[in-house]
Amino acid sequence: MKKKYLIGIIAGLAFIVLAIYSFDTSKIEYSDFATARKEGKTVQIIGSWIKEMPYNYDSQKNEFVFHLKDEKNGIAEVLYHGGKPNNFDIAPMVVVKGKFVGERFIAKEVLTKCPSKYEGNLQK
**Domain 28-114 class in CATH:** mainly beta
pLDDT of residue 86: 83
Sign of the Cα torsion 73, 76, 82, 83 reads positive
- pLDDT, averaged per 10 consecutive residues of the chain (124 residues), comes to 80 80 68 92 93 92 95 95 88 93 94 66 48
Report how far apart, in Å, the C-alpha atoms of 114 and of each of 19, 21, 85, 92, 94 are.
Answer: 34, 34, 11, 7, 9
The torsion of the CA quartet 87, 91, 95, 101, rounded to 10 degrees, works out to: 80
pLDDT of residue 27: 66
